[in-house]
Amino acid sequence: TTFPQLFSNLRFDDETWSRWNSVNDCELHFPEDKHLTSFQQILVIQAFRPDRLESAMKQFACDLLGLKDISPETLNLRKLYSKETISTEPILIIISPGADPSAELRDLAMEIVGKDRYAEIAMGQGQMEIALDLLKKCSNQGTWLCLKNLHLVTSWLTTLEKELNALKPHKDFRLWLTSEVHTKFPTILLQSSIKVTYEAPPGIKRNLLRTFEIWTPEEFGKGSVARSQILFILAWFHAIVQERRKYIPQGWTKFYEFSQADLRASYEIIHRLCERAGRQSSGEIQWNYIHGLFDQAIYGGRVDNPTDTDVLRSYLVQYFNAAMIGGAKGLKSRLASNINLPNSTELH
């Protein structure tokens, strides 16, 4: 009986509903006197604001289940290691094609156990015996081992299972495994492992949070405020180019494997350019270097469509320029209408 009344109400109370329709997050601002159930609100949004349907359905699920958020937490290897891992349970990181968590894992190992107590092998033809020998050695010594790309050697994984069952590992031993999804991956090994996915988190906000979890306070904060602002721009840019993949073919014409490796390489370039600028009297950042390297060697190196290349270049010009961090006149531009750059070198 509500919907016939709603139809009449839409006709005779158009000011209220026009105001509701103009709000960005309309799913949170339904007129209280209309007495619509949560499900009826979903149907109204589907009819009048389909652009907010996904957000409304998430909110509906959260309200129904009594949760604050239904999205999974972003993967943080440091938290995973400290809270969930043990020596007798492998950690299986499920990756998408082109993704590689090994650099992030390597940094974590250097922080926790040191460079000399971490080893990794990219699995492939001729690596199996080497991997087994190293597994026994690391298990006895209590060091870390990462076996990468197990989807390339699925026929060997039953042998790995047997070796793992025979091990009596040191308490500090950790075995990290990476693999793409594969139908022939052994069920027993899968069930006996801690399983996490390594992929870009959904939404720009979560993508930014993941980047700030990867960067340490020292990495973000060493240097000037301008340097930290450029890194914030990098995190924003990285989130934007990844998020556009949800809207193929409007966002990009195809799916591009922009990854943490691109973010890391970009960080190193910005770090070195900021160091160089700090040694010069002018203190100016060489923005053309950033544009060229990001376009030709890093993010743009994955792009093979002229239209997508134009989009990428427009973002580089829009975000990476002197006006974004003040420029000569001290007037800063904004990343977005409600996003300001940080005025501090503090990460959190």
Spatial separation of the C-alpha atoms in residues 146 and 105, rounded to whole Å: 9
Residue type, 185: F
β-sheet bridge partners, residue 92: 177, 195
The number of angstroms, rounded, from the C-alpha of 300 to the middle of its chain's C-alpha atoms is 19
Each of the 348 residues of the chain gets a pLDDT tens digit; together they read 456 666 666 666 778 888 888 888 888 888 877 677 888 889 889 988 999 998 899 889 988 888 777 776 777 888 889 888 999 999 999 987 767 788 889 888 998 999 899 999 999 888 999 999 999 999 999 999 999 999 999 999 999 999 999 999 999 999 999 999 999 999 999 999 999 988 777 788 888 988 888 888 888 888 888 899 999 999 999 999 999 998 999 999 999 988 888 998 999 999 999 999 888 777 788 999 999 999 999 999 999 999 999 999 999 999 999 888 864 444 566 777 777 788 888 876
What string of DSSP letters covers 285-308? --HHHHHHHHHHTSSGGG---HHH
Q: What's the CATH class of domain 204-325?
A: mainly alpha
Read off the tokens for 155.
Answer: 């026929």
HEC profile for 116-149? HHEEEEECCCCCHHHHHHHHHHHHHHCCEEEEEC
CA 76 to chain centre: 10
Alpha-carbon gap, residue 188 to 47, rounded angstroms = 47
For domain 77-198, which CATH number applies: 3.40.50.970, 1.10.1040.10, 3.40.50.300, 3.40.50.2300?
3.40.50.300
